[in-house]
Amino acid sequence: EPEVTQTPSHQVTQMGQEVILRCVPISNHLYFYWYRQILGQKVEFLVSFYNNEISEKSEIFDDQFSVERPDGSNFTLKIRSTKLEDSAMYFCASRDLYEQYFGPGTRLTVT
């Protein structure tokens, strides 16, 4: 069964450093998403991506964040200058007609 994959599973970085989180969506899906979950809190929408551009973004997704689909398979989330409060689990998802399929997540720890 096809699945969304994410790398790395855990990323530790120092405050102010740039991080890139990588996702490989399901191959025939056209809509891609990033969500985050701060420890103990709800899953929050960050951004959606369709046809090589951002279709929607939340207020969390400020200028420090960017997304890219550099080739036909990868979908990346970049945080330019990480802050302590960026520590969270980041989930990638891709969507068929109705259902979003989530990856296993990347746990980002900012020290």
Partner 1 sequence: AQSVAQPEDQVNVAEGNPLTVKCTYSVSGNPYLFWYVQYPNRGLQFLLKYITGDNLVKGSYGFEAEFNKSQTSFHLKKPSALVSDSALYFCAVRKVGGSARQLTFGSGTQLTVLP
* Residues near partner 1 (CB under 8 A): 31, 33, 35, 41-45, 48, 55-56, 58, 91, 95, 98-105
In the complex with partner 1, which residue's Cβ is closer, 13 or 100?
Answer: 100
| Chain mean position to CA 96 | 17
Shortest distance (Å) from residue 49 CB to partner 1: 11
Q: Which is nearer to partner 1, 65 or 91 (CB)?
A: 91
Q: Which is nearer to partner 1, 14 or 104 (CB)?
A: 104
Q: Could you tell me the smallest distance in angstroms from the CB atom of residue 70 to partner 1?
A: 22
Task: For residue 46, give the nearest of 91, 14, 103, 9 by alpha carbon.
Answer: 91
CA-based end-to-end distance of the chain: 37
Q: Of 55 and 81, which CB lies nearer to partner 1 in the complex structure?
A: 55
Token pair, residue 6, equals 């994410």
Q: How far is the CB of 63 from partner 1 (least distance, A)?
A: 20
Give the closest residue to 90 by CA, choosing from 25, 17, 7.
Answer: 7
> DSSP per residue over 69-86, as a string?
--SSS-EEEEESS--GGG
